[in-house]
């Protein structure tokens, strides 16, 4: 397990503009992704609970300066989101990453978060991690930090034992650690959060596997992540169909015994499993449509923001010119509105000080699922 040196302070620059980079934060619902991002960036992204997600879109935090870099952290929903279909989650993440890659931008790193208090890496955690692997590929793993979180909620010795198991077993994190990823702890302090970020800054940004696949002209269903999601959906459907078959057998036995109460309960269970089969079928068919819709809405939102920025900039210029025609006293009175117009233009266009990632964050920040 690689050690990570701690960064004690955030540095702000007066003259030279820092290099702009972006780091994505991924992991299951309720693992603390948004809290981690808010702690570092001072943003106010809405935080959910361990069971209910509040991250219903890919969203970027306020850029912040750290050492020689201006960092934008990108929050992503998990593939166990309580309000989104998995195909929606894949579509939004893929659209965001594909758009960035299409504009020559890649991530400097990825933080993948895991609850150390989980006594095992269950089905949901395993599914999220498999999707994460398919999104990243192997070539970008040197830019990945796997962060164990919530150490304050578990006995320390037990947490260390779980950490060792995660790092040394092939069914957990060992394969990615052997290919360059690192394991780190987050104790919910700013010091540990900065140490994690410090381990990623300065690394050469890497193209993720899904970015390369989509750039090569693959359909979203042909990508490794798309195939993994569809395979997982088919496995879920198979399990539900097997449950339906068993329930049908049990219902026949209940009918023979004239146990109407048992038969009614079994019938309700069968209806629930059938509903799940229908949901999974829709989710599978939505993989292509979800990605296309997310990309269309992202591009439309960016166009609208760019148009609004041009209007704001024009108003700012007109306000400046108008000021020149007034007396000094009137000019002073007008300066406030002129300055506000300039600020509005900067926020709309996110001027060069924000760069690509900051501009994209500002353009999409008011929008939730699919940037509506």
pTM beyond 0.85: the answer is no
Between 86-102 and 224-256, two packed helices, what is the crossing angle to 10 degrees?
180
Q: How many residues does the chain have?
A: 372
Which helix or strand (DSSP H or E) is residue 344 part of? Answer: helix 328-349
Contact indicator for 251, 239 with CB cutoff of 8 Å: no
> By C-alpha distance, which of 177, 119, 106, 131 is closest to 26?
131
* pLDDT at residue 332, as a whole number: 56
* pLDDT at residue 330, as a whole number: 57
* Angle, CA 149 vertex, CA 146 and CA 154 arms, to 5°: 135
Record: fold of 19-215: Rossmann fold (3.40.50)
For the chain, residues with pLDDT lower than 50 are 1-14, 49-52, 340-353, 366-372
Distances (CA, A) of 220 to 209, 216, 225, 287, 289: 12, 11, 8, 7, 10
Distances (CA, A) of 14 to 17, 61, 65: 8, 22, 11
161-196 pLDDT, tens digit each: 999 999 999 989 999 999 999 999 999 999 999 999
284-340 pLDDT, tens digit each: 999 999 999 999 988 888 888 888 888 888 888 888 777 776 655 555 555 555 554
Tokens linked to 348: 């709309």
Three-state DSSP class for residue 72: strand
Q: Which residue has the tokens 């060792």?
A: 164
User: How far apart are alpha carbons 74 and 71 in whole angstroms?
Assistant: 10
């Amino acid at each position: 397990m690689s050690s990570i040196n701690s960064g004690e302070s955030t540095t702000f620059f007066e003259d030279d503009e820092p290099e702009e980079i972006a780091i994505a934060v991924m992991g299951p619902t309720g693992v603390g992704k948004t809290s981690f991002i808010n702690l570092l960036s001072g943003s106010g992204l809405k935080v959910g609970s361990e069971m209910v997600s509040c991250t219903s879109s890919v969203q970027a935090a306020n850029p912040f300066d750290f050492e020689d870099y201006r960092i934008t952290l990108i929050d992503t929903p998990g593939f166990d989101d309580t309000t989104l279909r998995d195909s929606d989650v894949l579509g939004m993440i893929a659209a965001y990453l594909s758009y960035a890659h299409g504009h020559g931008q890649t991530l400097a790193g990825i933080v993948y978060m895991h609850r150390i208090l989980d006594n095992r890496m269950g089905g949901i955690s395993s599914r999220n991690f498999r999707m994460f692997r398919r999104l990243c590929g192997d070539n970008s793993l040197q830019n990945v930090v796997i962060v164990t979180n919530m150490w304050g909620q578990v006995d320390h010795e037990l947490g260390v034992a779980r950490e060792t198991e995660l790092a040394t077993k092939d069914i957990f994190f060992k394969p990615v650690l052997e290919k360059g990823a690192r394991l780190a702890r987050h104790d919910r302090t700013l010091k540990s959060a900065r140490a994690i970020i410090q381990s990623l800054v300065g690394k050469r940004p890497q193209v993720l596997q899904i970015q390369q696949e989509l750039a090569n002209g693959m359909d979203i269903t042909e990508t490794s992540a798309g195939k993994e999601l569809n395979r997982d959906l088919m496995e879920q459907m198979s399990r539900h169909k097997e449950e339906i078959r068993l329930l049908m057998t049990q219902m026949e036995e209940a009918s023979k015994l004239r146990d109407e109460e048992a038969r009614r309960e079994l019938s309700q269970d069968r209806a629930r499993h059938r509903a799940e089969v229908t949901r999974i079928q829709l989710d599978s068919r939505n993989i292509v449509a979800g990605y296309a819709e997310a990309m269309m809405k992202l591009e439309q939102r960016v166009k609208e923001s760019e148009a609004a920025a041009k209007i704001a900039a024009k108003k700012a210029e007109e306000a400046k010119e108008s000021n020149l025609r007034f007396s000094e006293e009137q000019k002073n009175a007008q300066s406030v509105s002129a300055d506000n117009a300039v600020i509005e233009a900067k926020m709309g266009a996110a001027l060069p000080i924000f760069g690509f990632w900051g501009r994209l964050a500002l353009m999409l920040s008011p929008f939730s699922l699919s940037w509506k």
